[in-house]
Structure 1
Amino acid sequence: MKKISKISYLIILFVLSNCGKTDVEFNKQQWNEKFDGFYENRENMVNDLFKNHLKKGMKYKKLTDLIGEPQNYGTQKSNTVVYLIMEDYGWNIDPVETKILIITLSKDSLVENYEIQHWKK
Structure 2
Amino acid sequence: MKNLMMIFCLCFLSACGNNQLDFEISKWNESVDGFYKFRELMTNDLMENHLKKGMTYQEFTDLIGEPENFANLKTNTIGYTLMEDYGWDIDPVETKILLIELTADSLVQDFKIQHWKK
User: By the TM > 0.5 criterion, same fold?
Assistant: yes
Counterpart of 2:33, as a letter, is D
2:61 equivalent to 1:64: yes
Counterparts of residues 23-34 of structure 1 (less than 5 Å)? 23-34=20-31
CA offsets 1:15-46 (integer angstroms, 9 cap, x no match): 5423xx61111111110110122011101111
Structure 1 stretch displaced more, 105-114 or 67-76: 67-76
One of 94, 103, 114 as aligned partner of 2:111: 114
CA offsets 1:26-76 (integer angstroms, 9 cap, x no match): 111110110122011101111111111100000001111111111131110
1 CA distance for matches of 2:90 and 2:36?
18
What SS class does the counterpart of residue 49 from structure 1 fall into? helix
Counterpart of 1:59, as a letter, is T
1 CA distance for matches of 2:23 and 2:74?
27
2:73 equivalent to 1:89: no
Instruction: Give the TM-score normalised by structure 2.
Output: 0.89
* Cα offset, 1:8, TM superposition: 5.3
2 CA distance for matches of 1:107 and 1:75?
19
* Cα offset, 1:108, TM superposition: 0.5
RMSD: 1.6
2:28 equivalent to 1:37: no
Counterpart of 1:23, as a letter, is Q
* Cα offset, 1:120, TM superposition: 1.3
2 CA distance for matches of 1:64 and 1:44?
19
Unmatched 5+ residue regions in structure 2?
Answer: none
2 CA distance for matches of 1:8 and 1:58?
48
One of 73, 77, 94 as aligned partner of 2:74: 77
